[in-house]
Amino acid sequence: MDDDTREQWLARDFEQQRPRLRAVAYRVLGSAADADDAVQEAWLRLSRSDTTEVTNLAGWLTTVVGRISLDMLRSRSSRREDSWDAGLAELVAGGAVRTAPTQPTRPAPDPASEVELADSIGLALLVVLDTLAPAERLAFVLHDLFGMPFEQIADILDRSPAATRQLASRARRRVRDADADAAAPARTRQREVVTAFLTAARGGDFTALLEMLDPDVVLTSDEAAVAMGSPEVLRGPEAVAQRFNGGARSARLAAFDGGIGAVWTLRGEAMVAFRFTVDDDRDIVTGIEMVADRARLDAMEIWFLTS
């Protein structure tokens, strides 16, 4: 078989597997755009590999996508870090620092496709999956959602099948606990509100910020944040909206202390956490606390989410 014919056969077989591979990557990564990147990388690896000895192409591709997705999860924190000057200072010290992008902006994912994928798994489960460690998430998704044997997952994680089984078991318990938790729907709404707030802040949409803030909203800062230049207390929607308007570009959506908020990191270390209090009945922000105290930050179990 010549090279052109081989590539045509591979392309045909790959396209047949694409929907399933994208579904796997999406459930592991929680982002349609990242899932597309993972699937595209899998195609590149397939086109460069000698697959003459591969008897189960679907399994081979699932393993490849799993490894790529795991690498993407593990590198996410360092890839999304921002410098102190361009990130932390913009809200802590009050200035909305504007910097030119160094790389072209990636086109936005297709909204209809994103919704279809989210509906297929459920936003609540995606929120829970985002709180799992990368290895736990991969083990749970590949085994519980796609039926991959632990022996095959263990090869991806470079762990024993027994250790991989334990990872999936821990993840399963957390998913079940979240399903049984009556607060799970409220947590999903909180994530939506905080995400919308950060989006409005980054876009400089002052009107949208005002609409998402309670008339009696209060922004407070601990002593460490005050020492960095933040006011100790700000009251009222206009003052709080003005503080965030045009900023928050380097904020990372995160889960900590049982809620959803935002965190800045510097070289992989959390420097400031923004704890949001949301009125679940009205879906508005009633309070924001800025936490920069080192001891408090170190005591937090922070899981970064896909915004």
Q: What is the pLDDT of residue 302?
A: 79
Note whether 97 and 32 are same-domain residues: no
Note whether 197 and 269 are same-domain residues: yes
10 Å CB burial of residue 260 (0-12, 13-18, 19+) is buried
Average the pLDDT over 162-184 and give the result: 77
Q: What is the pLDDT of residue 64?
A: 95
Q: How confident is the model at residue 172 (pLDDT cuts 50, 70, 90)?
A: confident
Note whether 96 and 244 are same-domain residues: yes
Residue 290 CB coordination number (10 Å): 25
Work out whether the CA dihedral 137, 142, 144, 146 comes out positive or negative: positive
Query: Which pTM value belongs to this model?
Result: 0.48
Q: Which of 88, 125, 77 shows the shortest CA–CA distance to 303?
A: 77
Residue 50 CB coordination number (10 Å): 6
Q: Which domain holds residue 223?
A: 84-103+183-304
Residue 122 included in any domain: no
Q: What is the pLDDT of residue 179?
A: 56
Q: What is the pLDDT of residue 104?
A: 30
Residue 215 included in any domain: yes
Note whether 148 and 33 are same-domain residues: yes
Residue 222 included in any domain: yes
Note whether 149 and 72 are same-domain residues: yes
Higher pLDDT, 90 or 68: 68
What are the DSSP calls for 231-254, one per residue? Answer: -SEEESHHHHHHHHTT--TT-EEE
Average the pLDDT over 271-300 and give the result: 90
pLDDT at 83 over 60: no
pLDDT at 161 over 70: yes
Note whether 230 and 284 are same-domain residues: yes
Note whether 197 and 55 are same-domain residues: no
Q: What is the pLDDT of residue 122?
A: 53
Q: What is the pLDDT of residue 215?
A: 96
Note whether 36 and 143 are same-domain residues: yes
Percent of the chain with pLDDT over 70: 77
Mean pLDDT of the chain: 79
Residue 15 included in any domain: yes
CA 11 to chain centre: 31
Note whether 255 and 268 are same-domain residues: yes
Backbone angles phi, psi at 105, to 5 degrees: -75, 135
Q: What is the pLDDT of residue 178?
A: 64
Domain stops at, among 113, 147, 180: 180
Residue 153 included in any domain: yes
Residue 118 included in any domain: no
Note whether 189 and 175 are same-domain residues: no
Backbone angles phi, psi at 261, to 5 degrees: -155, -150
CATH code for position 28: 1.20.140.160
pLDDT at 8 over 90: no
Domain stops at, among 155, 180, 205: 180
Cα separation, 21 vs 25, in Å, equals 6
Note whether 163 and 14 are same-domain residues: yes
CATH code for position 239: 3.10.450.50
Q: How confident is the model at residue 82 (pLDDT cuts 50, 70, 90)?
A: very low
| Number of domains within the chain | 2
Residue 129 included in any domain: no
Cα separation, 180 vs 173, in Å, equals 10
